[in-house]
Amino acid sequence: MVLLVGPPGAGKSTFCQQTAIQGLMMERPTILVTTDYGPGDAEAALREQGLREVEPGLLSYVNAYHETVGLSASDRPDTVLADSGNLSSIGIALSRLQDRVGGKGILLIFDSLTSPYLLSGQEIVRFLRITLSRFVGEGNSVLACFDEGSGREEDLVAMMSIAEGVIKIEMREDRRLMSIVKHPTMKPTRVEVPITPPMGLDARIFDPALLKDFVLAQMSGEETASRGEVGDYVNLFWPCFARWSGMLWDPKRFPRMAYDLNRDDYPSMFRLSRTDKEVYDAIFPWRLRLMLRLMPKNLSKVKDIKKLIERRSQTLMPERVGIMEYLEEASRTDEHYIRVHENFDCWGLENMGTTMAFHLPPFIAGMCMAIEGMKGLEREWNAVETKCIGLGDPYCEFKLIPGEPDGLKDSLEKDGSVLRGIHDHMMSHLMGFLLEGKPLVERPRLGSDIHIHPVWHTMALPAQAGERFRTALRMGGAKSGKEVGKRLTEAGLMEDEAARRVIGLLRHCKVGKVSMGETIRMKESCESYWSKFWATPEIREPSCYFTTGFLNGFFSAVKDHHVKETRCIAMGDPYCEWEFR
Instruction: Walk along the chain (581 residues) and give the pLDDT tens digit of each residue.
Output: 999 999 877 888 888 998 998 888 778 899 999 998 899 989 988 887 777 778 888 999 999 999 998 888 888 999 999 999 999 999 999 999 999 887 689 999 999 899 999 999 889 999 999 999 999 999 999 999 998 888 888 999 999 999 999 999 987 766 778 899 998 888 888 888 766 554 456 666 666 777 777 777 766 667 767 788 999 999 999 999 999 998 887 777 788 888 988 898 888 888 877 777 777 777 777 777 777 777 788 899 999 999 889 888 887 888 999 999 999 999 999 999 999 999 999 999 999 999 999 999 999 999 999 889 888 888 999 999 999 999 999 999 999 999 988 889 888 888 888 998 999 999 999 999 999 999 999 999 999 999 998 998 888 776 666 677 887 888 889 889 999 999 999 999 999 999 999 999 999 999 999 999 999 999 999 998 877 765 454 456 788 999 999 999 999 899 888 888 999 988 889 999 999 98
Helix axes 253-275, 467-490, angle to 10 degrees: 130
Residue pair 452/509 in contact (Cβ under 8 Å)? The answer is: no
Domain architecture of the chain: domains with CATH? 2-194 (3.40.50.300), 252-413 (3.30.1380)
| Alpha carbons 291 and 295: distance in angstroms, whole number | 6
DSSP track, 248-317: HH-TTHHHHHHHHHHHHHHHHHHHHHHH-HHHHHHH--HHHHHHHHHS-S---SHHHHHHHHHHHHHHHG
What stretches of 448-556 adopt beta strand conformation (E)? 449-451, 513-516, 519-523, 534-535
Instruction: Tell me: cis bond preceding 331? Omega within 30 of 0 counts.
Output: no
| Alpha carbons 130 and 241: distance in angstroms, whole number | 35
**Phi and psi dihedrals of 175, rounded to 5?**
-135, 155
Helix axes 545-558, 495-508, angle to 10 degrees: 160
Strand, helix or coil for residue 81: strand
Integer CA distances (angstroms), 533 to 172, 214, 236, in order:
38, 8, 22
Residue pair 283/273 in contact (Cβ under 8 Å)? The answer is: yes
**Phi and psi dihedrals of 81, rounded to 5?**
-85, 145
Integer CA distances (angstroms), 222 to 17, 214, 228, 458, 520, in order:
50, 10, 11, 21, 29
| Alpha carbons 105 and 116: distance in angstroms, whole number | 25
| Alpha carbons 148 and 252: distance in angstroms, whole number | 9
Strand, helix or coil for residue 440: coil
Please count the CA atoms within 13 angstroms of the CA of 464 that sit on its side-chain side.
Answer: 26
Helix axes 495-508, 416-436, angle to 10 degrees: 100
Helix axes 302-316, 360-374, angle to 10 degrees: 120
**pTM metric for this prediction:** 0.79
Strand, helix or coil for residue 442: coil
DSSP track, 374-423: HTT----EEEEEEE-GGGT-SSEEEEEEES--TTHHHHTS--HHHHHHHH
DSSP state of 197: P
